[in-house]
């Protein structure tokens, strides 16, 4: 599945989805979430909504969540292009954001992880 970012109107309001609910600032599915040294899920979801970052399993149960102002995230120099490291509530998670094995285009993974980092900064007001 493709992830999608919230669309913003010119006046700063968020566009609501078909069901009337506001879309999250960032949402990516099919994310591999690992906490050293083990993988927690290979098809999880990362969601930024209402000023909170939530890491979810493939079944929708919450692994961890925190306000975006308390989350640190970045792309270490040794990480692959589609990997990001996020510290949530003092726990480091390795997030592998990609669209799946069949959709490996040049630069697509970097764009997805970059979009996540940009959405996190935007939500935190940094």
- pLDDT recorded at residue 26: 94
Render the burial of 4-14: b for 16+ CB within 10 Å, e for the rest.
ebbeeeeeeee
For the stretch 36-67, pLDDT in tens is: 889 999 999 999 999 999 999 999 999 999 99
pLDDT of amino acid 10: 36
Report, as ranges of residue numbers, the positions in the chain whose pLDDT lies below 50: 1-13, 15, 102-103
For the chain, state the CA radius of gyration.
Answer: 14
Helix (H, G, I), strand (E, B) or coil at 107: coil
Q: Which domain holds residue 21?
A: 4-124
Number of folded domains that form the chain: 1
CATH number for the domain spanning 48: value is 2.30.29.30
Q: What is the pLDDT of residue 8?
A: 40
């Amino acid at each position: 599945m493709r992830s999608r970012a919230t669309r913003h109107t010119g006046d700063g309001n968020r566009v609501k989805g078909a069901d009337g609910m506001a879309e999250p600032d960032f949402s990516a599915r099919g994310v591999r979430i690992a906490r050293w040294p083990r993988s927690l899920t290979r098809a999880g979801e990362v969601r930024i909504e209402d000023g909170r970052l939530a890491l979810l399993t493939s079944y929708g149960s919450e692994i961890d969540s925190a306000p975006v102002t308390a989350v640190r995230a970045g792309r270490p120099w040794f990480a692959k292009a589609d990997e990001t490291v996020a510290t949530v509530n003092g726990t480091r998670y390795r997030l592998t954001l990609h669209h799946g094995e069949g959709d490996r285009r040049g630069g697509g993974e970097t764009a997805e992880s970059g979009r996540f980092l940009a959405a996190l900064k935007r939500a935190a007001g940094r």
